[in-house]
Chain A
Amino acid sequence: MELKEKLVSSFLAFENTVDVDTAVHDIRSNAIKVFEEKGFPTKKEEAWKYTSLNTVLKHDYSIFPKEENALEFKDVKKYFLYDLDTYKIVFIDGKYSSHLSETTHDKIDVCLMSSALAQDKYKPIIDNYFNKIAPEDGITSLNTAFSNEGAYIYIPKNKLADKPIQIIHLSTGSESAQLLQPRNLIVVEENSHVQIIERHQNLTDNAVLTNSVTEIFVDKRAIVDYYKIQNDHENASLIDNTFIEQHAQSVASVHTFAFGGNITRNNLNFYQKGEGIDSILNGVTILEGKQHVDHNTLVHHTEPNCESHQDYKGIFDEKSTGVFNGKIIVNKKAQKTNAFQSNNNILLSDKASINSKPQLEIFADDVKCSHGCTIGQLDEQALFYMRSRGIGEKEARALLMYAFANNVLESVKIPQLKNRINKLIANKLGVNIGFDL
């Protein structure tokens, strides 16, 4: 049976495990119909022109986790930011691990989607925010239909989340192939601030497909910093759908560090709903082998005096492939918009490739919008210059690559996270220098 049919027919079984007498379940029921109608995206769709899910969809995925698998912290410690005090919401094979997690209900809520859905006191927030900005495409609808578990984060107004929050998904591969569909809801009210780090990690050779949906609401003057670490096993594919609604004078940033996996697709949409908003989208992509990463971004400016800044850097070795598709829409009303987008790439091999496509739809006349895209190689003159100062070839190449990605790395606000990412990059590049640029 094809995956699509299998999923649609599994919906009945899923309904036996959740409360069907809720508004949320009406949303799910509608979503499964949308998925049934639209199915998985194909390369015929413009937005999926360079990314095919065909090979990924062939696996016989188990759709519901059958058992709870325990992991010892010491065995998975390296996937955590362990040198930093954080809240942690950890899932093993899609099931919440209370053992590895550290949640809170003290002033802020950092807990589970399933428990938020089950309790009346969260109902107003769920009713107000759940599935309000997720678009009705096939893949998002699929997640919506089966949405039950994930992270639930609620920061009421005038609150500072006292420490960063890590959302970590681990796959033990006890199933031959596993489909995971986490659903996160993050609501940050007026004047509040939160930092979130998200990571997906497959611990075995078995295939994992994650179709994740995260909705983030950033109210007036709130600040949200979101960091995504995508450094997964070569059998792990990820479709990461993140939708952010921002209100007046809020600042939201998403950093995406795409260092590996099989096929990674990032759908990242920002919807601006007020004046004086700043949206920041940064990415560093470093790939090798046959890895594929597709960054598909949208920033929709609807009100005057807002900004958006996109800076995506890509380094592609061997047969790896990348896509950057960045869309900016500026409504007629959104005068004095400053929207910037840049996508710079280095190809280290003749067989690597990148498709970079800016899409600007500007209906206002008094705006500053720019986009730039470069594709190049490492500068041979610079390499010789560095080598003539005693820096080995591998290290010189690595240093140039660090320098290339540096402004994005520098914008990481959590020092321990910045260190960790520097180390991940050093490992990837096979060098052992503590570059501290």
Chain B
Amino acid sequence: MLKIKNLHASIEDKEILKGLSLNVKAGEVHAIMGPNGAGKSTLAGIVAGKEEYEVTKGTILLEEEDIEELAAEERAHKGIFLSFQYPVEIPGVTVTNFMKTAINETRKAQGLEEMPAKDMLKKIREKSELLDIDRKFLSRSLNQGFSGGEKKRNEIFQMAMMEPKLAILDETDSGLDIDALRIVANGVNKLKSKDNAVIVITHYQRLLDYIIPDYVHVLYDGKIVKSGTKELALELEEKGYDWIKEEINA
């Protein structure tokens, strides 16, 4: 699904990713953990097509296609979805209309007809129920005045609507209380299938109690320095990141 090879990337001449490689297959859940400033959000932004970053070396392949030259919207059309760490407030655009536009623009790009209004409403109803989202919430301006938890739940609602092949959840657990965390994780789990993949970027292990990863990677100083199974996440939770830093520096 996603193959990243020896990726180097910088922002304003500061190198953030320094030779990162990652291979995610369909049906898998990968967790990427690491201390602050390791490059986790940079990785998410680059895969989603954020233009501030410059890829200086390496390749990103989505289903064997190099996506480096694709704009953010084209990546979305190909099935990449980023759940933002800090979802942006857009006054004047309701959640419903944002989703209608996003889905129909994506369908247009894929050569499909616009989704009939009836189907759209049905889908919105189903997916909002899945994430326990109140109807009234859907007619509010996107993210405006939403609590931290509401914003994250809304991100996963959008993911459910867009049905991406590859979803990247950037710190989706931050700002969530335990009930919201369960709802969000349950939503992600319901959307998981053998045909799609999820990358969970997180600081803490607790989300991984609910979204069980197949692989756990430690990102440190722009590279993946350690990979393992879900037990690695527990070890990180217990011991922190210092032992990894020591291992590397040794």
A residues touching B (Cβ–Cβ < 8 Å)? Answer: 379, 381-382, 384-393, 395-396, 399-400, 402-404, 406-407, 433, 435-437
In the assembled complex, which residues on chain A have CB atoms less than 8 Å from the CB atom of B88?
Answer: 379, 381-382, 384-385
- A274 and B178 CA atoms in complex are apart in Å by 58
Q: Which 9 A-B pairs have the closest CB atoms?
A: A403-B92, A390-B106, A390-B76, A387-B72, A389-B102, A406-B92, A385-B88, A387-B73, A403-B93
- A387 and B98 CA atoms in complex are apart in Å by 11
Q: Are the C-beta atoms of B71 and A393 separated by less than 8 Å? A: yes
Q: List 12 A-B contacts (CB under 8 A).
A: A384-B72, A389-B76, A389-B158, A390-B102, A391-B102, A391-B105, A392-B105, A395-B101, A403-B90, A403-B93, A404-B92, A437-B97
Q: How far is the CB of B125 from chain A (nearest CB, A)?
A: 19
B residues touching A (Cβ–Cβ < 8 Å)? Answer: 48-51, 71-73, 75-77, 81-82, 84, 87-94, 97-98, 101-106, 109, 141, 158, 162
Q: How far is the CB of A302 from chain B (nearest CB, A)?
A: 35
Given contacts A387-B76, A390-B103, 19 further A-B contacts (CB under 8 A): A379-B88, A385-B87, A385-B88, A385-B90, A387-B49, A388-B48, A388-B73, A388-B84, A389-B76, A389-B102, A390-B77, A390-B109, A390-B162, A391-B101, A393-B71, A393-B73, A395-B101, A400-B93, A437-B97
Partner of A392, one of B73, B82, B94: B73
Partner of B90, one of A382, A387, A433: A382
In the assembled complex, which residues on chain A have CB atoms less than 8 Å from the CB atom of B81?
Answer: 388
> What residue in chain A is nearest B107 (Cβ atoms)?
A390
In the assembled complex, which residues on chain A have CB atoms less than 8 Å from the CB atom of B77?
Answer: 390
- A353 and B177 CA atoms in complex are apart in Å by 46
In the assembled complex, which residues on chain A have CB atoms less than 8 Å from the CB atom of B104?
Answer: 433
Q: Are the C-beta atoms of A400 and B48 separated by less than 8 Å? A: no
In the assembled complex, which residues on chain A have CB atoms less than 8 Å from the CB atom of B103?
Answer: 390
> What residue in chain B is nearest A405 (Cβ atoms)?
B92
> What residue in chain B is nearest A392 (Cβ atoms)?
B73
In the assembled complex, which residues on chain B have CB atoms less than 8 Å from the CB atom of A436?
Answer: 97
> What residue in chain B is nearest A387 (Cβ atoms)?
B72
Partner of B82, one of A382, A388, A433: A388
Partner of B162, one of A382, A389, A395: A389
Known: A389-B98, A400-B90, A403-B92. A395 touches B105 (CB 8 A): yes
Known: A384-B72, A385-B84. A390 touches B105 (CB 8 A): yes
In the assembled complex, which residues on chain B have CB atoms less than 8 Å from the CB atom of A395?
Answer: 101, 105
Among A382, A385, A436, the one with the most B-chain Cβ atoms within 10 Å of its Cβ is A385
In the assembled complex, which residues on chain A have CB atoms less than 8 Å from the CB atom of B89?
Answer: 382
Q: Are the C-beta atoms of A437 and B71 separated by less than 8 Å? A: no
In the assembled complex, which residues on chain A have CB atoms less than 8 Å from the CB atom of B90?
Answer: 382, 385-386, 400, 403
Q: How far is the CB of A408 from chain B (nearest CB, A)?
A: 10
In the assembled complex, which residues on chain A have CB atoms less than 8 Å from the CB atom of B109?
Answer: 390, 392
- A388 and B97 CA atoms in complex are apart in Å by 16
